[in-house]
A and B are shown apart, each in its own frame.
Chain A
């Protein structure tokens, strides 16, 4: 089952996505990133943003993906509630849907500063599910 969760870091917060493919694990982790800021269920998916990135390995690709989302969130004042990710080798193309921050409705908790290499992992767990995780500096 696709899922996301947060995991503790002493100063900041970790995001972890799970799914049957890296694509789905990346999508789920992105929901976890939104949840660092607000409840993803509060976000209307009115506006689409296309994202693409390329990296030397799958773990760096994951950090690049989250950092690309952070860049869009911060420069356009957007929050995202839905993601479609396609990974082809070490290339990612994605569509993120969301809306502009509405401070009274979203009550944004923090601004994410960046996705880090701390606790970074993209691999299969014992049950064969893909797990993508890292700590977000907030």
Chain B
């Protein structure tokens, strides 16, 4: 990205002043190398977001920012309904509430090493992944409605988890304000056979080892230490969320002119929060969040079943569950005034600081855990929200490494079978239905997640807690 028009505020903060139709500046949190590595379209997209009505303070780009749909991926923006603010289906994205859940196991790497092959095969067999796989749970319409209202709480009520899990999930596992009546029959039908399925693309389930601890005080509160084994699950709201995104994006794009909104890019499709379609979308999108929370809860249950079979001494309590494609109504202090705002996080993780009332009692002293997915051959991270992050980015941080190479190029550059062999030499076992899929997700196709995390830490968005290295990975 050409950074000439940007003003440097600090090593990891840059500002693009508002010009033309922009109602607010763009703030980039990234170091020079990360910024220069971003596509120019990231700047265009973040500037387009800044033109939307009711935007508060700035359009933000996280250190993993890359070219997305309307919004950049790694984009954060707050809107005030009282000032004509909007909700954007493009700003949430197709995979509503896609996120990462991390489970502790109580095991150490040495416990898993002797059964790695058995464990990865059992996980791959037991957890449906990829096109053509279906889950074992099939919901009728009434049960679908209950799921869309209850989220992870619904799943736990049906025996897929324990009530203690809820405390470690954003929104305590159940998003308020969901309105299943605004979820279409087509969206429901896409979900009918997809509960408890992982999906494909960059979605995965990994067994990981805590390789390094950076904040022992926080790690201790989270009950993790070096060499512990954890499980990370990355997936979202599956077909239901994709269909909600598809339908509302189209509707909002067409209706924008009627709302007096001049869209610089149709993919930025949005509607006033107080419009009829805006309200409907919020109700449907929140139902989509519940679908994602229920889905990760069921996958957690399936994972626990596999571990109880292969490693019976393991217990798998939740470390935390974060969503990184959402729009949530939150209270924030802006220039000394407390306001209720709608925070879009598109490929960005909520990162509430210590003391935030939304956090469960046990985590209130350390801030919200922020779970950052890497790629299958590199590393993932646990960070924690900070007090300063609340003011810097409405309590938001990065969500992953971000691609540096398109799928198009990646599949030409790597062969899946060779990648799997090379990773196995390094002790990382990968199972996937598609070799081309593995090539498209090659570790080399992603940016250096460590550079992203270091930048987020230096900028004050979130602090580094622990680095996780993959041991086993299953992909769709």
Candidates B41, B67, B200, B436; contact of A111 at CB < 8 Å: B200
Q: Is the CB of A111 within 8 A of B267?
A: no
Smallest CB separation, B274 vs chain A (Å): 24
Q: How far is the CA of A101 from the CA of B433 in the complex (A)?
A: 12
Question: Pick the contact of B132 from A63, A67, A70, A103 — CB < 8 Å?
Answer: A103
Query: Could you say which residues of chain A place their CB within 8 Å of the CB of B245?
Result: 113-114
Q: Does B199 contact A (CB under 8 A)?
A: yes
Task: Check B186 against A71 for contact (C-beta < 8 Å).
Answer: yes
Decide: A110 and B440 in contact? CB cutoff 8 A: yes
Chain B residues with CB below 8 A from A108, complex form: 130-132, 200, 433-434, 437
Contact partners of B130 in chain A: CB under 8 A: 103, 108, 111
Instruction: Tell me if A116 is interfacial: C-beta within 8 Å of chain B.
Output: yes
Using A110-B131, A117-B267 as known contacts, say yes or no to A8 and B406 having CB atoms under 8 A apart: yes
Residues of chain B contacted by A7 (CB below 8 angstroms): 408
- Interface 1/0 per residue, B119-163 and A, CB below 8 Å: 000000000001111100000000000000000000000000000
Which B302-350 residues sit within 8 Å CB-CB of chain A? none
Q: Which of B433-476 contact A (CB under 8 A)?
A: 433-437, 440, 476
Determine the chain B residues whose CB is within 8 A of the CB of A110 once the complex forms. Answer: 131, 200-201, 434, 437, 440, 476
Q: Which residue of chain A has its CB nearest to the CB of B98?
A: A113
Does the CB pair A111–B199 fall under 8 Å?
yes
**B418 touches A (CB below 8 Å):** no
B253 near A138 with CB under 8 A, answer no
A120 contacts B by Cβ under 8 Å: yes
Q: Is the CB of A113 within 8 A of B242?
A: yes
Residues of chain B within 8 A of A103, CB atoms compared: 130-133, 433
B200–A13 contact, CB under 8 A? no
Task: Find chain B residues with CB under 8 A from A54 CB.
Answer: none
Measured between C-beta atoms, what is the minimum distance from B433 to chain A in Å?
6
Q: Which residue of B lies closest to A6 (CB)?
A: B408
B236 and chain A: residue at smallest CB distance? A113
* Interface members, chain B 394-431 (any A CB < 8 Å): 403, 406-409
Complex: how many Å from CA A120 to CA B267? 9
CA distance A49 to B269 in the complex (A): 30
Contact B254 A56 (CB under 8 A): yes
Which residues B221-263 have CB closer than 8 A to chain A? 239, 242-243, 245-246, 249-250, 253-254
Q: Check B436–A75 contact: CB distance below 8 A.
A: no
**Alpha-carbon separation in the docked complex, A10 to B192 (Å):** 31
Q: Does B68 contact A (CB under 8 A)?
A: yes
CB of B403 within 8 A of CB of A10, answer yes
Task: Find out whether the CB atom of B69 lies under 8 angstroms from the CB atom of A101.
Answer: no
Is the C-beta of B95 less than 8 angstroms from some C-beta in chain A?
yes
| A60 B239 Cβ-Cβ under 8 A | no
Q: How far is the CA of A11 from the CA of B440 in the complex (A)?
A: 10
Q: Per-residue CB proximity of A99-138 to B under 8 Å, as 1/0?
A: 0111100111111011111101000000000000001011
Residues of B within 8 A of A70 (CB): 246
Kindly state the separation between the CA atoms of A60 and B246 in the bound complex, as whole angstroms: 12
- Decide: A117 and B242 in contact? CB cutoff 8 A: no
CA distance A102 to B94 in the complex (A): 26
Contact A10 B242 (CB under 8 A): no
Contact A71 B190 (CB under 8 A): yes
Cβ A113 vs Cβ B267 within 8 A:
no
Nearest Cβ in chain B — how far from A99, in angstroms?
11
Q: Judging by beta carbons under 8 Å apart, are A138 and B200 in contact?
A: yes
Q: Which of B41, B68, B265 has the largest number of chain A CB atoms within 10 A?
A: B68
A15 to B434, CA, bound (A): 20
Measured in the bound complex, the distance between the Cα atoms of B267 and A20 in whole Å is: 28
Tell me if A114 and B94 are in contact (CB < 8 A). Answer: yes
A37 at the interface (CB under 8 A from B): yes
Contact present for B246 and A67 (CB under 8 Å): yes
In the complex, residue of chain A having the shortest beta-carbon distance to the beta carbon of B253: A117
Complex contact A109–B437 (CB within 8 A): yes
A77 within 8 A of B: yes
Which residues from 196 to 227 on chain B have a C-beta closer than 8 Å to any C-beta of chain A?
Answer: 199-201
Let me know if A12 is at the binding interface, CB within 8 A: yes
A11 touches B73 (CB 8 A): yes
Could you tell me if B190 and A107 are in contact, using CB atoms closer than 8 angstroms? no
Contact A107 B436 (CB under 8 A): yes
* A91 touches B (CB below 8 Å): no
Contacts of A107 in B (CB 8 A): 433-437
- Tell whether B43 is near chain A: CB-to-CB under 8 Å: no
Residues of the B chain whose Cβ atoms lie less than 8 Å from the Cβ of A118: 69-70, 265, 267
Contact pattern, A 68-107, Cβ under 8 Å of B = 1, otherwise 0:
0011011101000000000000000000000011110011
A10 touches B67 (CB 8 A): yes
- Tell me, yes or no, whether A9 is within 8 Å of chain B by CB: yes
Known A12-B407, A103-B130, A111-B476: A120·B266 in contact at CB below 8 Å:
yes
- Whether A37 contacts B39 by the Cβ 8 Å rule is no
Nearest A residue to B244, CB-CB: A114
Q: List 30 A-B contacts (CB under 8 A).
A: A7-B408, A8-B407, A10-B67, A10-B68, A11-B66, A11-B73, A11-B403, A12-B407, A13-B406, A13-B407, A14-B408, A64-B250, A75-B192, A108-B130, A108-B433, A108-B437, A109-B440, A111-B476, A113-B94, A113-B242, A114-B243, A114-B245, A114-B249, A116-B249, A116-B267, A117-B70, A117-B90, A117-B265, A137-B69, A138-B201
